[in-house]
Amino acid sequence: MREHRPRDLSPIELGFTPQQAVPWLNPGLLVSTGIRTVFSDLFGAYLDKREMQAVLGDDRYDHSDPDELWLDYTADVGDGFDATYSVATLLARRTLDVGGLTLQRGALLVLGGDQVYPTASGKAYENRWKGPYRSALPVETPDTPVLYALPGNHDWYDGLTAFLRLFAQGDSVGGWRTRQTRSYFAIALPHRWWLYGIDTQLDVYLDKPQLRYFSHAAEDLRSGDRVILCAARPTWVISQQEHEAYDSIDYIVRTIIEPTGARVPVMLSGDAHHYARYAGPGPDRKGRQLITCGGGGAYLVGTAHLPEHITVPPATTLTRKASAPQSYDLTGTYPTPAHSRRLCRKVFTRVPMRNQGFLVLLGLMQVLLMFAMRTAHGRWLNAPIVVAVTAVVTGTVLFAVVQARDRARPRLWAAALLHAVPHVGLGVAGAAVWTRLPLSDLPNPWHILLALVVYAPVVAVLDCWIVGAYLVIASRFHVNVNELYAGMGIEDHKCFLRLHIAADGALTVYPVAVDRAARRWRADPDAPSDAPWIAPDERLTARLAEPAIRL
**Domain-terminating residue out of 486, 520, 539:** 486
Residue 9 lies in a domain: no
**Domain-terminating residue out of 471, 486, 501:** 486
Do residues 322 and 535 touch, judged by C-beta distance below 8 A? no
Task: Quote the pLDDT of residue 449.
Answer: 82
User: Same domain, yes or no, for 299 and 399?
Assistant: no
Do residues 188 and 219 touch, judged by C-beta distance below 8 A? no
Question: Which pLDDT band holds residue 184 (cuts at 50, 70, 90)?
Answer: very high
Residue 545: give its domain's CATH number: 3.60.21.10
User: Same domain, yes or no, for 263 and 404?
Assistant: no
- Name the DSSP letter for residue 106: P
Compute φ and ψ for 444, nearest 5 degrees: -75, 145
Say if residue 382's pLDDT is above 80. Answer: no
Residue 303 lies in a domain: yes
Q: Are strands 263-269 and 226-231 parallel, antiparallel or unpaired?
A: parallel
Which ranges of 46-121 would DSSP assign to H, the alpha helix?
81-92
User: Same domain, yes or no, for 479 and 505?
Assistant: no
User: Same domain, yes or no, for 32 and 71?
Assistant: yes
- Which pLDDT tens digit goes with each residue over 397-407? 554 444 444 44
* β-strand partners of 185: 197
Domain that residue 252 falls in: 26-343+490-550
Question: Which pLDDT band holds residue 154 (cuts at 50, 70, 90)?
Answer: confident
Percent of the chain with pLDDT over 70: 84
430-455 mean pLDDT: 76
- Which pLDDT tens digit goes with each residue over 339-373? 999 999 899 999 999 888 888 888 888 888 777 77
Say if residue 313's pLDDT is above 60. Answer: yes
Residue 8 lies in a domain: no
User: Same domain, yes or no, for 291 and 304?
Assistant: yes
User: Same domain, yes or no, for 335 and 445?
Assistant: no
Say if residue 89's pLDDT is above 90. Answer: yes
User: Same domain, yes or no, for 381 and 336?
Assistant: no
Do residues 412 and 406 touch, judged by C-beta distance below 8 A? yes
User: Same domain, yes or no, for 201 and 312?
Assistant: yes
Residue 316 lies in a domain: yes
Task: Quote the pLDDT of residue 366.
Answer: 83
Residue 255 lies in a domain: yes
Do residues 289 and 277 touch, judged by C-beta distance below 8 A? yes
Residue 16 lies in a domain: no
Say if residue 263's pLDDT is above 50. Answer: yes
Residue 317 lies in a domain: yes
**What is the SS3 assignment for 474?**
helix
Q: Number of structural domains, the chain?
A: 2
**What is the SS3 assignment for 240?**
coil
Do residues 98 and 512 touch, judged by C-beta distance below 8 A? yes
User: Same domain, yes or no, for 421 and 518?
Assistant: no
Task: Quote the pLDDT of residue 55.
Answer: 58
Residue 13 lies in a domain: no
Say if residue 477's pLDDT is above 90. Answer: no
Alpha-carbon gap, residue 24 to 354, rounded angstroms: 9
Average per-residue pLDDT for the chain: 86
User: Same domain, yes or no, for 41 and 146?
Assistant: yes
Question: Which pLDDT band holds residue 381 (cuts at 50, 70, 90)?
Answer: very low
224-237 mean pLDDT: 95
Task: Quote the pLDDT of residue 111.
Answer: 97
**Domain-terminating residue out of 455, 486, 517:** 486
Task: Quote the pLDDT of residue 415.
Answer: 66
104-133 mean pLDDT: 93
Do residues 289 and 279 touch, judged by C-beta distance below 8 A? yes
User: Same domain, yes or no, for 248 and 231?
Assistant: yes
122-135 mean pLDDT: 94
Alpha-carbon gap, residue 546 to 513, rounded angstroms: 9
User: Same domain, yes or no, for 147 and 182?
Assistant: yes
Say if residue 377's pLDDT is above 80. Answer: no
397 Ramachandran zone, left/alpha/beta (phi>0; psi -120 to 50):
alpha
Task: Quote the pLDDT of residue 405.
Answer: 44
What is the distance, to the nearest Å, from the Cα of residue 537 to the centroid of all Cα atoms in its chain?
27
Do residues 239 and 315 touch, judged by C-beta distance below 8 A? no
